[in-house]
Amino acid sequence: MQACTLIARAKINLYLEILGSRPDGYSEVAMVLQSIHLADRVQLKRRHHGIHLRCDHPEVPTDVNNLAYKAAELLQKECHSSAGVEIHIEKHIPVAAGLAGGSANAAAVLVGMNQLWGLGLTVGDLQSLASRLGSDIPFCVQGGTQLATGRGEILEPLADWEGIPLLLAKPRHLGVSTAWAYQAFRSLQEDSTSGSQPYDTVSSLPQVLVAFDRQDPQALANSLRNDLEKPVLATYTLVGELRSALRSAGALGSLMSGSGPTVFGIMPSLEQASQTRDTLRRQFQDVDFWVTQSAPTGILLEPDPQSLSLS
């Protein structure tokens, strides 16, 4: 194989509970992560040597600061290979949005280079390598619906529930630093222990898991949680306004994804999601909206059109 194209799907956090701090500087978390159909396309081509990365989005770095580049470097090192790769990323997932776009691209490079170079690495092997690059990347390798614990790298697949209708909203010119969001959360938690700020310590994770077992959208909507919302909404009021607007417009429930600023709503149907998108676009003219739904996988290898024509 000389080239391949992969679909690299975004994720949302249906649940994000911060359990405490870890000695390695990360936070101990319990998360329910869900792949969605909103996705980038990542094209890979074999080269004799070197890593060359291109992207059609001006804000995405094309050097070692890009997670996809780091993923290619890691595979070269671990497999003791001098072979190279050309990477082209076609962005559809918004940047710095809490949707793991960069992590999905890195996961796609790991999966794709495994195919290109015929490395024979298993999903577990790829996830182990991915954990060295970032907390969301192991999930993105396989995707679907998974319970993530530890710092996000310990994964347990949950029952598939494809096709949950979703409406996403992201302020066009706003990005939120993940590191800042976690630090702001820790500051709020310290205030809560001194009695100046109330903090919710009751877990609703069991309700989320029951909702998935029953595939009950209203039960899922009622048990959504993201501990990073409180500090982000306190600083970026538009994020909270979007969350309220989604609920008022008919979402069963809404939540900020990851460290934000993207907010998603669980909708009764894709038709209503489209209608709500059109309504909210008129109200929030500096916000981008996407109608999408939950997906059963994270990285998908696109069939080779030439191979299809021969079948």
Judge if 144 and 257 occupy the same domain. Answer: no
Above 70 in pLDDT, residue 162? yes
Residue 89 and residue 217 in one domain: no
Could you tell me if 183 and 248 lie in one domain? Answer: yes
The percent of residues above 70 in pLDDT, for the chain, comes to: 94
Residues 261, 152 share a domain: no
- Within-domain flag for 310: no
Q: Does 308 map to a domain?
A: no
pLDDT score of 230: 93
What is d(CA 71, CA 119) in angstroms, rounded to the nearest whole number? 14
The count of domains in the chain is 2
Q: Indicate if the pLDDT at residue 308 is higher than 60.
A: no
299/5 Cα distance (integer angstroms): 10
Q: Is the peptide bond before 303 cis (omega within 30 degrees of 0)?
A: no
- Looking at the fold, whether 171 and 216 belong to one and the same domain comes out as yes
Predicted local distance difference test score (pLDDT) of residue 310: 35
C-alpha 49/C-alpha 83 separation (Å) is: 5
Q: What is the average pLDDT across 296-307?
A: 76
Six token digits for residue 159: 């029952």
Q: Is the pLDDT score of 196 beyond 80? A: no
Lowest mean pLDDT among 6-15, 65-74, 93-102, 183-192: 183-192
30 plus 104 within the same structural domain: yes
Known catalytic residue at 136: yes
Domain that holds residue 209: 165-293
Known catalytic residue at 77: no
Question: Band of the pLDDT at 192, cuts 50, 70, 90?
Answer: low
Q: What are the respective helix, strand and coil percentages of the chain, to the nearest 5?
A: 35, 30, 35
Is the per-residue pLDDT at 311 higher than 50? no
Q: In what order do the strands lie in the sheet with 253-256?
A: 253-256, 263-266, 165-171, 287-293
Measured CA to CA, the distance from residue 111 to residue 141 in angstroms comes to 7
Q: Are 194 and 178 in contact (CB under 8 A)?
A: no
pLDDT band, very low/low/confident/very high, at 24 (cuts 50, 70, 90): confident
If pLDDT is split at 50, 70 and 90, which confidence band does 309 have? Answer: very low
Read off the pTM: 0.92
**Separation of alpha carbons 36 and 226, rounded Å:** 18
**Which of 40, 70, 136, 230 is the catalytic position?**
136
78: number of Cβ within 10 Å: 14
Residue 292: pLDDT over 90: yes
First to last CA, the chain: 17
- Of 27-31, 192-196, 225-229, 252-256, the poorest mean pLDDT is in 192-196
